[in-house]
Structure 1
Amino acid sequence: MEEQIKKLIEEEIRPALQSHGGDIDFKGFDQASGVVTVALTGACGTCPFAQETLRVQVEQVIRRSFPSVTAVKREG
């Protein structure tokens, strides 16, 4: 499942964030807890709306495709 999550990030989430000067790096997936960990970089790393971006543009997309994912957390 980790590879599928990475593919979704690469194909759907990363292009959207890059179009706004940001980026995302997959850091890990804890299968036991269902938590995906990512790092927001570029403009997203310092944006005051980064938490909202994480919730709306990252977590919702991942959870829609992978219902077993319980949360997406930001590294750091």
Structure 2
Amino acid sequence: MDSKEKTLALIEQALDTVRPYLQADGGDVKLIEMTEDRTVVLELLGSCQSCPMSMMTFKAGLEESIRKAVPDINRVVAQNVPSLA
């Protein structure tokens, strides 16, 4: 397993810690990619796409979990939520 694969696995593990809370409200998150400049691109799914709390969930839940697992990530964005891209 190379360095990028290890990093992606750590990101998935971080997302797995938050997923049960998202799924309890009819939502979920999908890891789309990690770019060369170490930007993590996510897609919010289900009710998370239109939830008024999605910004808070994204910043306090998803982004914080990813940054704890992989501190050298530069950015975390959601491709399908304009205010989070």
TM-score greater than 0.5 by the shorter chain: yes
Higher strand share: 1
RMSD: 1.3
TM-score when scaled to structure 1? 0.84
Structure 1 residue 43: deviation in Å? 1.1
Structure 1 vs Structure 2: percent identity of aligned residues?
Answer: 27
What do residues 17-51 of structure 1 show as CA deviations (whole Å, max 9, x unaligned)?
11222111110111x32211111111111112212
TM-score (norm 2): 0.77
Q: How many residues align?
A: 74
Query: Of 51, 65, 68, which residue of structure 2 is paired with 1:61?
Result: 65
Note the residue ranges of structure 2 that are not aligned, 5 or more in a row.
1-6, 81-85
Task: Kindly name which structure, 1 or 2, has the bigger radius of gyration based on alpha carbons.
Answer: 2
CA drift of 1:53 comes to 1.2
Point out 4+ residue stretches in structure 1 off by more than 2 angstroms: none
